[in-house]
Amino acid sequence: MKLSILLTSLALIAGCSTSRESDSNATDNMDVISLSKNMSTSEQADTAPVSPSAAFNWQKFFRGAPSSKERPLLQQTLKQLSNASSFDDLLKRARNETALGLLSSAEATYRQALRKNTGNIDALLELAALLQKQRRTGPALDILADARVALTSQERPNQEQLFKYRYTLAMTYLQNGDRNKSHAILSDLIGKDRTFLPGYAALAFSYLKDGKDSVAKFIVDQAMDRGGEHPALYNILGVLQERQGKSAIAKDFYNRALNMSEFFAPALVNRANLYVATGETSMAESDYKKALDAEPSNTDAMIGLAVVYRQTGRFNAAKEILERTLDLDADNPQARFNLAILMRENVKDEGLALRYFNEVTQSDRANQTLRTMAKSAIEEIRSL
């Protein structure tokens, strides 16, 4: 039996597409909603948050990936900050590194900045969001706990910081499988700002991941009615169409997402997957590489690029990138399955292939289809 190499699952929201499920009570509830509820109406009015969708600065969390025109300017600024030593300059450098997708460097810079200003809430929240994007939910929750202490120590907490804290906490809960807690926070944030499109997108993603497509579509429609267009919303609409077998319409939605944000990695990965399915490997390779320019640690893009490398005979390059994927995400079942196929069919190392197939069957993150395919491959290898 010859197995076709497996593409990664549909990419939804950056940092969430391959999250591990866990029990809904796995983490303590760290929400700080009481801080805003206990404030008087006049106090809340005095500290009303700027609408996240209107924020321009990179540190505001909600701006999309920089465009091809903006990236050289950010890179130039980053060079100027290479020897940064003050807290303010280190924070600027970390923000530029984050915007360019240099997450490992950004983490180191944030931690260096926090050694100079331990309780800085903005730096703590930005570092937590960065860790969440890397699917490192434990460290993200640790940093959020520090931010919570800093927020609760304030007599009048800054409402914008509270908003960012709660959104990051909701995304971390969602990634950790604590959907009830995540949904409660996201729903409340949307209630406070009916135009908060990232909140709608996160909710829709959660229902889509759970197979509740009609609910996801309802949330996306509601978001667009209230707040307008957003690349994450168009990407979800593309996934919905693709699930119905309407690839052409799906690609149109991915194109719309990319017209709004040309480096929006989930839409780039999904469009590239469609190109692979139709044999347009050069187009797929271009999209995967562009996604990796925006997010160098995007494992969906890395697996997809390995698929293209294998299909075009670049077996060593495919092996290298799959191994690098596992360095970043050690329990990624799609990467292990693809590596097993590569070992068996191209490198001709059935022993190593058998090991990887076995690891797929033992992965908590592998779905039933993937486990069944791995078990079939194991049985065939052992019967030879």
Convert the pLDDT of each residue in 21-76 to its tens digit.
344 444 567 887 766 554 433 444 344 443 333 333 333 455 678 888 888 988 99
Q: Which residues contact 371 (CB under 8 A, 6 or more apart)?
A: 360, 361, 363
Q: Can you give the pTM of this predicted structure?
A: 0.85
- Give the per-residue pLDDT at 15: 42
Thinking of the domain 298-384, which architecture would CATH place it in?
Alpha Horseshoe (1.25)
Q: Classify residue 325 by its DSSP letter.
A: H
Which residue type, as a one-letter code, is found at position 213? D
- The answer to whether residue 124 scores a pLDDT higher than 50 is yes
* Residue 43 exposed, middle or buried by CB count within 10 Å (0-12, 13-18, 19+): middle
Q: Classify residue 100 by its DSSP letter.
A: T
Q: Give me the residue spans of the domains in the chain.
A: 27-191, 298-384
Are the CB atoms for 124 and 146 separated by under 8 Å? yes
CATH of domain 27-191: 1.25.40.10
- Cα(72)–Cα(190) distance, rounded to whole angstroms? 35
Q: pLDDT tens digits for 193-249?
A: 898 999 999 999 999 988 999 999 999 999 999 988 999 999 999 999 999 999 999
- Between the CA atoms of 11, 13, 19 and 23, what dihedral angle is there, to the nearest 10 degrees? -130
**Domain pair 27-191 / 298-384, same fold:** yes
289 is written with which tokens? 């590489």
- Closest among 171, 151, 174, 175 to 38, alpha carbons compared: 151
- Closest among 34, 60, 12, 53 to 194, alpha carbons compared: 53
Q: Provide, rounded to the nearest whole percent, the portion of the chain with pLDDT above 90.
A: 64
The pLDDT of 112-129, averaged and rounded, is: 96
Helix pair angle (103-116, 87-99), 10° resolution: 160
SS3 content of the chain, % helix, strand, coil (to 5): 70, 0, 30
**Gyration radius from the chain CA atoms:** 21
13 is written with which tokens? 């929201």
The pLDDT of 338-345, averaged and rounded, is: 92
